[in-house]
Structure 1
Amino acid sequence: MSTSSHYQKLVSMYAAAPINALYRPTMEVAEGSATIEIELSEQYHHSAGGVHGSVYFKMLDDAAFFAANSLEPEFFVLTTSFTTYLTRPVANGKMRAVGKVVNRNKTQFIAESVVYDSEGRELGRGNGIFVRGKFPLAEARGYAEG
């Protein structure tokens, strides 16, 4: 399988995840990187009218996760730890998270991600450790359709 085919299959797998019916994100994957965008709406707000921190975490973790999985063609990777820093509130527009692998070895990937608002201002950042799981990508929902 070509790397571009693997990237497209990851995009299909992401779109097929039931959780993404709520967020309706778009994603691009390249070698060691992933970019995810969502259009914000009030359904993502906490009681004070800003986007809930769980949305920040999802964007940051997903971008880093898919950056790592871009380098693993056979198995679903797993997040083993992820640190999140929220640096600016947002209520509307778009959120765009960019993830990249910064280090890898035989057993793990270390990836970082940054999330931005529609004007390119940083909203938050995170970093995580990801490992190769035992679940074959070929069996993941949506992967075969890519």
Structure 2
Amino acid sequence: MEAQTHYQLLERLYHSANIQSVYSHSQISISHEQAEITLPADPKFFHGANALHGSVYFKLLDDAAYFAVASLVRDVFIVTSSFQLNLLRPVTGGVLKAVGTVRSKSKNLFVAEATLYNDKGKEVAFGTGQFMRTTQPLSSLAGYSAVLEG
């Protein structure tokens, strides 16, 4: 399978996850060792003080780092084994962009980092995660194994 096909299937897998019904306006772009995710900061994601809840920061950063690693793994599903999150400033609107990149790779363990930016290009959070291979074939996942159209 060509790399570009793998990236497109991963993008499809991202959008097919049940959790994406909550984040339905997000977009993802995957390339070699990198992933970018955008999401409008909808007020439904805000905590009681009317700023973005930390769970949304985590979701975007973890997904961006995860899919950067997944770009390298074409046979099995990977999982997050740990993730360190650093929140720098509140977000009260605009479109967020998370950029994930691979930092280190070995046979079974990968390290990736991600940075979250607001719509002015300011860094609002960053994180580093460890990701591990599983034994579950990617081909067994309905969202990944779907045939790409034209």
Band the TM-score falls in, shorter-chain normalisation? over 0.9
- C-alpha distance in 2, partners of 1:142/1:8? 11
Matched residue, 1:36:
37
Deviation per residue, 1:122-144 (Å, 9 max, x gap): 01000011011111111223112
Query: For 1:142, what is the secondary structure of its paired residue?
Result: helix
Decide whether the 8 Å contact of 2:9 with 2:143 is kept in 1. yes
Q: Is 1:12 aligned to residue 18 of structure 2? A: no
Query: What is the TM-score normalised by the length of structure 2?
Result: 0.95
5+ residue gaps in structure 2?
Answer: none
Deviation at 1:42, TM superposition (A): 0.9
- C-alpha distance in 2, partners of 1:120/1:6? 29
5+ residue gaps in structure 1?
Answer: none
Query: What is the TM-score normalised by the length of structure 1?
Result: 0.97
- C-alpha distance in 2, partners of 1:140/1:83? 27
Matched residue, 1:86:
87
Matched residue, 2:135:
134
Over the aligned positions, Cα root-mean-square deviation in angstroms equals: 0.8
Matched residue, 2:69:
68
Q: How many residues align?
A: 146
Matched residue, 2:46:
45
Matched residue, 1:2:
2
Deviation per residue, 1:85-144 (Å, 9 max, x gap): 000100111110000001101121100000000110001000011011111111223112
Query: For 1:143, what is the secondary structure of its paired residue?
Result: helix
* Structure 1 ranges of 4+ moved more than 3 A: none
Provide the identity percentage: 39
Decide whether the 8 Å contact of 1:76 with 1:136 is kept in 2. yes
- C-alpha distance in 2, partners of 1:79/1:98? 17
